[in-house]
A = this chain, B = another copy of it.
Amino acid sequence: MKLQKIGELKLLQEIRKRFKTEDNGIILGIGDDAAVLVPQKENLLVTTDMMNEGIHFDLSFTSPFQLGFKLVSINVSDIMAMGGRPKYIFLNVALKSDADEDIFWDMYEGISKAMEMYSVKLAGGDLCAAKNDMVLSATVIGAAEKFITRSGAKAGDKIYITGTLGDSACGLALLQRLTDESKEIVNRIGAPGYRRICEKLYLRYHDTPTLRYIDFDTVEPLITRHLTPVARDSSEVAKYATSMIDVSDGLFIDLCRICDESNVGAKVYLDRIQISDEAKNAAEIMGLDPMRLAVSGGEDYELLFTAPAENNFKFQISNLKSQKITCIGEIMETDRIAVDKTGKKFPIKAEGYQHFGAP
């Protein structure tokens, strides 16, 4: 049924039923002028992020489920990047009136799945109509005894990154090249009832009629990283980090943010940057440079942080459960340089995604 036949009030009633307030700090949830939360003993962390159709997402590349999941993840990731625990989420959703009810509920499935993963509770929001572009935004409130800013890096600190970089940018590049049939297959990834079937996928090659075959096992993890990213748990890392940020716009641009705020420089050893086999493989098939995707491609949502260069520290940190952590360089007094495996040096520039596309 179209949303315009259902109406806002009925939708809100249904949402309220599905997201019942439980006794977890929410005194009053959805359904009044504002939510009421119990007073917090710790510092309060608040972040908000928007996702706009045609800018942050393309509905022919992503399913509503994936979109809902990602909305929660990117906001939770900001709380994690401060060393906090996410607690409550507030959602703003604007959909076109002629949108089908299914789109709405698929999106809510994705939102719910991510909320469950991060133990975040829905406490309020706003649902309204959109004229042309679908818009989603979320505000996440979290808590932290000790929080990690971007401004605490000191010369001599080591620079660390969780996981691998460039996967998300590689996933996006794949989506831009997959044939419509192949895109339909990958749009189901992660959705309820999804079963992994190794189907054949094809990429368009430039504007030629030539198609290139690409293996499902290569595509799946990259698309997953792009469409349904998972925020990294910072609880262990936060004990040691002097500064931290999540890689949303690209390694170099986000590292420059730490340098700017901390008033320091940085040296990055390019050969230490972890790139997944899938990203290397897919980049080769597409004729792209995987290192460029790793340093300038955004949306990996890995944690980039600095910590003192103590001998035992490195050992502790590399053994954190389920988190692969790599030391990729060190904080310098002023210079910002990247060094490749031959020893050649390049300046680190704030390259990455920027809205309004200024130079």
Interface residues of A (CB under 8 A from B): 3-11, 27-28, 31-50, 52-56, 77-79, 81-82, 84, 88, 90, 92, 94-95, 97, 123-133, 135, 137, 139-142, 144, 147, 149-151, 244-246, 261, 350, 354-359
Contact = CB atoms under 8 A, between A and B. Distances in A.
A36 B150 CA distance: 13
B7 A358 contact: yes
A100 B141 CA distance: 33
A44 B55 contact: no
24 contacts: A3-B356, A6-B358, A7-B357, A8-B356, A10-B358, A31-B150, A33-B47, A34-B81, A34-B82, A36-B147, A37-B43, A37-B46, A39-B39, A44-B44, A47-B124, A50-B128, A52-B131, A54-B131, A56-B128, A90-B139, A92-B92, A94-B135, A97-B357, A133-B133
Contacts of A27: 43
A130 B134 CA distance: 10
Contacts of A81: 33-34
Nearest to A43: B36
Contacts of A50: 92, 94, 126, 128, 135, 137
B5 A358 contact: yes
Given A90-B139, A350-B9, A34 B79 contact: yes
Number of copies: 2
Contacts of A6: 356, 358
A8 to B, nearest CB: 4
Contacts of A40: 39-40, 44
A43 B39 CA distance: 5
A356 B227 CA distance: 28
Nearest to A253: B9
Nearest to A125: B48
Contacts of A79: 33-34
A46 B123 contact: yes
Contacts of A36: 43-45, 82, 144, 147
A350 B12 CA distance: 15
A97 B357 CA distance: 8
A263 to B, nearest CB: 13
Nearest to A56: B128
Nearest to A147: B36
A32 B94 contact: no
Nearest to A3: B356
Given A8-B358, A34-B45, A47-B124, 18 more contacts: A4-B358, A7-B354, A7-B357, A7-B359, A28-B149, A31-B261, A36-B45, A36-B147, A39-B42, A44-B44, A48-B124, A50-B135, A52-B129, A54-B130, A56-B128, A92-B92, A97-B355, A129-B356
Given A32-B150, A37-B46, A55 B125 contact: no
Contact of A149 (B11, B32, B129): B32
Contacts of A44: 36-40, 44
A21 to B, nearest CB: 12
A355 B8 contact: yes
Contact of A46 (B53, B82, B141): B141
Given A33-B78, A39-B42, A354 B47 contact: no
A262 to B, nearest CB: 12
A108 B79 CA distance: 26
A144 B350 CA distance: 43
B356 A97 contact: yes
